[in-house]
Amino acid sequence: MRKIVLFIATSIDGFIAGKNGDTDWLYTDGDFGYKEFYDSIDTTIMGYNTYYFIKQFKQFPYPDKKNYVFSRSNRKPDGNPIEIIFSDVVEFTRELRSRKGRNIWLVGGSQINSMLINAGLIDEMIISIHPVALGQGIKLFKEDDLRNFQFKLVKHQVFERGLVQLTYDNI
């Protein structure tokens, strides 16, 4: 079965973005396994807040993928190759996973991450820990309701810049 993979960068203290959603602390001077991962997926899923941040990039970064953005409010088409999903995040994602295809990239953010980990729908996490402490910001998972989840470390990779990439399987 295809897997749902949370591929995401964090600070040493577990933030995926700064207080105002800023990600200027992320290293961008290397590939850090991105291309290989990107080639392994054919679909992305993300929450609207995350999409709203990505929208501000000069170019939409996943033009050749099928992109689903979850939202509770009606959103007008904006020219990007995305589909807004109003239906239940968990049910939609479970159905999506049951279809044939390559892996699905869970882009984030913390709210969707929490809903999907709670539903047992994160099969793998690839966390790239940047050697930065932020102190505050947007966390990997939203605070409410998360049960403690055990993972199995299946791979680790250390990049020259001090970036550590850990791959965990759901158990």
Q: Compute the least distance from the CB of residue 58 to a copy of itself, in Å.
A: 24
Which among 135, 103, 164, 130 has a CA at the least distance from the CA of 24?
Answer: 130
Task: Choose, by CB under 8 A, the member of 4, 13, 73, 74 that binds a copy of itself.
Answer: 13
Nearer to a copy of itself, 15 or 70 (CB): 15
Task: Choose, by CB under 8 A, the member of 7, 15, 51, 62 that binds a copy of itself.
Answer: 15
Nearer to a copy of itself, 102 or 152 (CB): 152
Per-residue binder mask for a copy of itself (CB under 8 A), 101-140, x = binder: -------------x--x-------x-x-x-xxxxxx--xx
Q: Compute the least distance from the CB of residue 67 to a copy of itself, in Å.
A: 25
Nearer to a copy of itself, 83 or 143 (CB): 143
For 2, half-sphere exposure in the C-beta direction (CA atoms, 13 angstrom radius) is 20
Task: Choose, by CB under 8 A, the member of 10, 49, 50, 128 that binds a copy of itself.
Answer: 10
Residue 33 is a binding residue for a copy of itself (CB under 8 A): no
Beta partners for 168?
125, 153
Q: What are phi and psi of 138, to 5 degrees?
A: -95, 125
Between helices 89-98 and 110-118, what is the axis angle to 10°? 70
CA distance 145 to 164: 28
Nearer to a copy of itself, 35 or 153 (CB): 153
Contact 129/8 with Cβ under 8 angstroms? no
Contact 159/129 with Cβ under 8 angstroms? no
CA distance 93 to 168: 20
The residues of the shown chain that bind a copy of itself, judged by CB under 8 A, are 10-15, 18, 25, 114, 117, 125, 127, 129, 131-136, 139-153, 156, 158, 162-164, 166, 168
